[in-house]
Structures are given as structure tokens and as C-alpha cells.
Chains A and B, each alone.
Chain A
Amino acid sequence: MTKVTMTVNGKTVSGEVKGNTLLTEFLREDLRLTGTHVGCDTSQCGACVVHVNGEAVKSCTMFAAEADGAEVKTIEGMANADGSLSVIQQAFQDYHGLQCGFCTPGMVMSAAALLKDNPKPTEAEVRDYLEGNICRCTGYHNIVRAIMAASGQDVPAVAAE
């Protein structure tokens, strides 16, 4: 077992992990932060995307030990300090960017990473950035609309295809 210490959503946390404990297992099973979802466990679907030191990563494809000393942000850390939804989360609700909601934590974390680097993305850039996030319900269209809205851009201009 290895001792790891990291900052998760602003709080310092420690735990004992095995060598093969994935970051997603540490978050979900040790910290009980079950908002981070495991859809495929094969690096394809993106439901497990979290931020490590500000960058979007698939937490099912990184070991907890590799996050020792890192700043981790999960979907539980996305709401505003007063508990209200962040701009991106609110936009997902307003624009029906989710149906079953399973992919949503990863979608929101990917969207936040995109908008940090590229505050006014084009529709094509949004779709390209979501390459590694799979949604089986929405057909992506309303997710793209939500992210365009969250970036303060004109949503009706988004083509319906």
C-alpha cells in the first residue's frame, strides 16, 4: 500500500492505495465522491473525466498514486460556493443537455476544460473537443447548445445537425 495525499475540490485528503488503484476508484470508493462515473472502464467514454492540475483526464486511466500531490477537481466541486449550479451546469439544464445523465459529469468537466482554454469556441471546436465523451441519449446536439450558451454565445445560430 502507498500513502497518497492530494487536494480534491479544495480539501486536502489522504488515503492508503494499492499500486493498481485507479484514480476513479479512489474518488468513488474511498472518498465516496460518486459523481464521477465509470461508463466503459476502457478509456473510451469520458464519463470519468476529472481535472488533475487543471487538465481534463480520464480518471479510469490514471492511477491514484500518480495523483499524489495533485489538485483534483470533480463534478462535486463544480457548483458555486452558495450551492447554486455553475454557469455550465445551469446551461446543461436550460438547454436539455442531458437525458439519462450518466455521461453528464464527464461532459461538464470536459466543457469546463475547453472553456478555460478557449472561452469562445466555435460549434466545430466544441464538437471536436467532445471527441472523447460519449453520450448515448442526446445525439450531442443539446450538449453543444448548452456549451455554446455557457460561453455566452448565440445558441439559435447552432445548426440543427
Chain B
Amino acid sequence: MYSFDIQRPTSIADAVAALSTDEALPLGGGQTLIPTLKQRLSAPSVLVSLGAIAEIKGVCTGDDGALCIGGGTTHATVAKEAASSYPALAALAGNIGDPAVRNRGTIGGSLANNDPSACYPAAALASGATIVTNTRSIAADDYFQGMFATALNEGEIITEVRFPVPEKAAYMKFEQPASRFALVGVFVAKYADGVRVAVTGASEDGVFRWTEAEAALSSNFSADAVPAAPSGDGMISDLHGSGAYRAHLIAVMTKRAVAAAG
């Protein structure tokens, strides 16, 4: 690692102030950023750890019934505390990485990083979640802007993520067994006003909504209604699978998710 200073503010205001320094980077749980720093792919002058900010940790239910998760909440906490209110989201969180990773990694860190194969972006997009930062609220549809790209500005911190709770939902992940990331993951969520389907792991543009499947499933919520697999154009091709293979998996995992949602 290159050398840097580390700061541990205890409030959002102090964290924002610390991040106003040139070349400062926020540190969530560090389960992606620390390996990145070790490879010298990132060279901040100051690392601002968000881990000591109590006000961005925890899970609760808002007045509108939405599940509100603090940006600094670990995957392990979401897996435990969202289990009764939003089981599909809790199951997703409980299957990220491994237990030690889940004890450190945070929802805010995952969404800010927007890895094209991460699980949480699929949940946020399929749920029509709202990403709340220290300055504004961003709809999930506007938030994800391509591989590792988001609507966040420099120094902006995710303080909370609000998930409208669906009538039915399920996430199905076809795991890349070495990394535990999704080779392809599909989150299906059925709301009173329609079905949303979000796909991670597949597209070179990162997480996306499969609108054809949404239309079909909104009129008939059954695995048989899932359309034929989309084209492999624009899908990630690597040693783990071709674009066409990933495209095929999208339809397979969508069917499984619909079946699991019941």
C-alpha cells in the first residue's frame, strides 16, 4: 500500500469535513477498498473511515412502511435484522462473500462501489430503493450509471437506503465459486403496481432492469411467463463465461427467482 493518513470521525458532519481534503477517500467496511489499496490501484492521501459513525448504522421501518438501512450497516446485521420485514433482501445480504466479510462489509460501501457483479445493486434497483446521502435523496433508477459509476459526487456519503417492501420477492445468484460474487444474479420484486427485475453480474454497463421480463411478469407472475433470454451483446465475457452464456443465465435465474418468490 502507498502511505496515507486515516481518520475516524464519529459524525456525518465531521466525515464530510474530512472528505473535503484533496485526495481523501471514504472507507466503508473496506472489504473491496483494502484489497484495492494493497494492489496500489488507489492512492488516497487520507482515508476517512465511516465505521465509527453510529448514526448511519442500523435497520428500522419508516413511517411509510419502507425498510430503512443505515449506510454503515454490515451485511451480517441486514441478514439478521431484515429477516422478518424483507426476507429476500436479508437472504441476499446473508449470502454475500463469507461470514467474516459480512461482519465488515456495508451496504453503503457496496452501493457506492457499484461493482458490476455485486449483489446489493440488484436489490436496490429491483426494489426501486431510494439512496439517501448527506445532501439529497437519489432514486435507484437515477443512481446506477454504469460499471463502478454512480450519481454520487466526490465526498458524498450514503447515510441511508430506503427499500419499499414488495408483496413478493426473491434473489437468485449463480455464484462464481471462487469470489462468491454473482456470475449472474437476478432480483425479482412484485409490487402492487407491477414487477421489477434487476440483473447484476451480466452487463458491461453494470446492474440493469430487464424491462421485457418486467412487462411479462406484471401481467402474469409465473416462471412460464419469463421471456426468452436477451441477446448476449454488451454482456460481460471473461474466462468464467461468455456473454451468450451470461445472457442465457439471466432467463434461467429470473425463472428461479419467480418460482422462489412463489
Interface residues of A (CB under 8 A from B): 2, 18-20, 22, 41-43, 46, 49, 55-58, 61-63, 65-66, 68, 110, 113-114, 129, 131-133
The 9 closest A-B pairs by CB, nearest first: A132-B98, A19-B6, A131-B98, A55-B103, A20-B1, A65-B6, A19-B5, A19-B4, A56-B100
Judging by beta carbons under 8 Å apart, are A113 and B38 in contact?
no
Give CA–CA (A110, B8) in the complex, Å. Answer: 27
Judging by beta carbons under 8 Å apart, are A61 and B51 in contact?
no
Give CA–CA (A55, B74) in the complex, Å. Answer: 12
| 18 A-B contact pairs sorted by A residue (CB < 8 Å) | A2-B6, A19-B3, A20-B3, A42-B35, A43-B101, A58-B100, A62-B34, A63-B34, A63-B47, A63-B49, A65-B6, A65-B49, A66-B8, A113-B99, A114-B99, A131-B99, A132-B99, A132-B100
1/0 per residue, CB under 8 A from A, across B43-55: the answer is 0001101010000
User: Which of B37, B38, B103 is within 8 Å of A57, CB to CB?
Assistant: B103
User: Which of A20, A55, A58, A110 is within 8 Å of B37, CB to CB?
Assistant: A20
User: Which of B35, B38, B46, B100 is within 8 Å of A49, CB to CB?
Assistant: B100
1/0 per residue, CB under 8 A from A, across B1-18: the answer is 111111010000000000
B-chain residues with CB within 8 Å of residue A131 when the two chains form the complex: 98-99, 180
Judging by beta carbons under 8 Å apart, are B8 and A46 in contact?
no
- Decide yes or no: A63 and B98 within 8 Å by CB, A20-B4, A20-B37, A56-B103 being known contacts: no
B-chain residues with CB within 8 Å of residue A114 when the two chains form the complex: 99
A-chain residues with CB within 8 Å of residue B4 when the two chains form the complex: 19-20
Give CA–CA (A46, B97) in the complex, Å. Answer: 12
B-chain residues with CB within 8 Å of residue A63 when the two chains form the complex: 6, 27, 30, 34, 47, 49
A-chain residues with CB within 8 Å of residue B8 when the two chains form the complex: 65-66, 68
Further contacts, 14 of them, CB under 8 A, given A41-B38, A66-B8? A19-B3, A19-B47, A43-B31, A56-B103, A58-B104, A61-B30, A61-B34, A62-B104, A63-B6, A65-B8, A110-B100, A131-B98, A132-B100, A132-B101
Give CA–CA (A146, B89) in the complex, Å. Answer: 33
Give CA–CA (A68, B10) in the complex, Å. Answer: 13
What's the minimum C-beta distance from B253 to chain A, rounded to whole angstroms?
20
1/0 per residue, CB under 8 A from A, across B24-39: the answer is 0001001100110110
Judging by beta carbons under 8 Å apart, are B98 and A42 in contact?
no
Give CA–CA (A135, B47) in the complex, Å. Answer: 33
Which of chain B's residues 67-85 have a Cβ closer than 8 Å to chain A? Answer: 76
Judging by beta carbons under 8 Å apart, are B76 and A55 in contact?
yes
Measured as residues with beta carbon below 8 angstroms from the partner, the interface class of chain B is 20 to 34
Closest Cβ neighbor of A114 among chain B residues = B99
A-chain residues with CB within 8 Å of residue B1 when the two chains form the complex: 20
What's the minimum C-beta distance from B117 to chain A, rounded to whole angstroms?
16
Give CA–CA (A61, B102) in the complex, Å. Answer: 12
A-chain residues with CB within 8 Å of residue B5 when the two chains form the complex: 2, 19
Give CA–CA (A36, B262) in the complex, Å. Answer: 45
Give CA–CA (A26, B186) in the complex, Å. Answer: 41
A-chain residues with CB within 8 Å of residue B100 when the two chains form the complex: 46, 49, 56-58, 110, 132
A-chain residues with CB within 8 Å of residue B49 when the two chains form the complex: 63, 65-66
Give CA–CA (A55, B79) in the complex, Å. Answer: 14
Give CA–CA (A42, B201) in the complex, Å. Answer: 21
Judging by beta carbons under 8 Å apart, are B51 and A66 in contact?
yes
Give CA–CA (A57, B99) in the complex, Å. Answer: 8
What's the minimum C-beta distance from A129 to chain B, rounded to whole angstroms?
6
What's the minimum C-beta distance from A47 to chain B, rounded to whole angstroms?
11
Give CA–CA (A42, B34) in the complex, Å. Answer: 9
What's the minimum C-beta distance from B44 to chain A, rounded to whole angstroms?
9
What's the minimum C-beta distance from A153 to chain B, rounded to whole angstroms?
20
Judging by beta carbons under 8 Å apart, are B180 and A57 in contact?
no
